[in-house]
Amino acid sequence: MVEISTSILSVEKEKATRTFYDLETAHTDYFHIDVMDGKFVQNNTHELMKEYANTIKQISNIPLDIHLMTYNVKDYIEQYIDLEPNIITFHIESVESKEEAYEIIKFIKENNAKVGISIKPNTKVEQIYEFLPYIHMILVMTVEPGLGGQKLIPDTLEKVKKLKQYIDENNIEIDIEVDGGIKLETAKMAKGVGANIIVSGSYIIKSEDYKKTISELKE
C-alpha cells in the first residue's frame, strides 16, 4: 500500500478551507506544500503556501510534506518550522556544496522534522547516494519543478527503478516519493518501479470525488 501526498498547489483560494477539509475526509496521508521562491523556479508561491499551510495546521492533524523549490534553503526552513512539518525536502541542485547539504540535513533534524532530498529530472540518482543513510526520503521529480498540471517524463521512472535497486542492495530504509504528472495510470507505473509515496495535485483536486480518487491511487 502506498501513501498519497496531495499537492495543494492548484487549490483555488476561495475554496481552500473547504478543499482541505474534504481532502482530510478523503484520507490523504499528507498535504504536499509546494514552496517556490521565484529564483530556483520561475513561479513564486511562498506567501500562498505559507497561508495554506497555516490554515491546514489550524483545521487538521494530517502531516505536512514540505517541498522546497528554493535557494536559501535554511531561510525557508525557518519560515515553516513553526508549523511542525513531518518532513522538509530540499533540492540537491539548490545547494553549492555537499557540506552545505549535510548542514541542511542536520538543521532540519535539529528542528524535529524528517529530511527529504529532491532531484530534478536531469539530475542523476548517483549524485545523492552518499546522503541516503542520513535522510528519510528521496523525492524524484517526474516533471520539471515549477508548475502543476504537467505531463510525467517517462524516463524519470527509470531513475526510480535504479534508486530502488540501490537501496534494496544496500539495505537502506528510505521512502521514495514521486512528484509531478501523477494520475491513475502513471501512479501504477511509479508503484511498479518502487515508489511508495505518490504526490498528486491537479488529478486529485480536479476530480469529482476525492475519496474515490485517493483510494484508487493507493491501490
Q: Looking only at residues 8 through 27 of this chain, which bind ligand DX5 when binding is defined by CB under 6 A?
A: 9
Can you say how many angstroms the Cα of residue 139 is from the centroid of all Cα atoms in its chain? 6
Determine which residue in the list 77, 179, 197, 207 makes contact with ligand DX5, applying CB under 6 A: 179
Interface contacts to Zn ion, rule CB under 5 A:
34, 67, 179
Binding mask 76-115 for ligand DX5 (x = CB under 6 A): ----------------------------------------
Could you tell me the smallest distance in angstroms from the CB atom of residue 190 to ligand DX5? Answer: 12
At 87, give phi and psi (nearest 5°): -145, 145
- CA-closest candidate to residue 140, choices 13, 205, 154: 154
**Would you tell me the crossing angle of helices 184-192 and 210-218 to the nearest 10 degrees?**
20
For position 37 contacting ligand DX5 by CB under 6 A, the verdict is no
For position 202 contacting ligand DX5 by CB under 6 A, the verdict is yes
Active-site residue, selected from the candidate residues 82, 175, 179, 209: 179
DSSP conformational letter for 12: -
* Distances 122 to 34, 74, 155, 173 between C-alpha atoms, Å: 20, 24, 10, 25
Q: Report the alpha-carbon distance of residue 103 to residue 164 in Å, rounded.
A: 26
> 3-state DSSP call for residue 4?
strand
Active-site residue, selected from the candidate residues 29, 34, 37, 65: 34
Pick between residue 103 and residue 149 the one whose CB is nearest to ligand DX5: 149
Is 82 catalytic? The answer is no
The site that binds ligand DX5 (CB under 6 A) totals a number of residues, namely: 22
For position 44 contacting ligand DX5 by CB under 6 A, the verdict is no
Q: Report the alpha-carbon distance of residue 189 to residue 180 in Å, rounded.
A: 13
Please choose which of Zn ion, ligand DX5, none residue 146 contacts, taking the beta carbon within 5 to 8 angstroms, the exact cut-off set by kind: ligand DX5
Strands (E) located in 120-174: 137-141
Cell 515553516: give the residue: 80
Position closest to ligand DX5 via CB: 201
Q: Report the alpha-carbon distance of residue 200 to residue 181 in Å, rounded.
A: 7
Is 37 catalytic? The answer is no
Determine which residue in the list 11, 146, 157, 214 makes contact with ligand DX5, applying CB under 6 A: 146
C-alpha cell at 32: 504536499
Pick between residue 5 and residue 213 the one whose CB is nearest to Zn ion: 5
The site for ligand DX5 (CB under 6 A) is made up of 7, 9, 32, 34, 67, 69, 143, 145-150, 179-182, 199-203
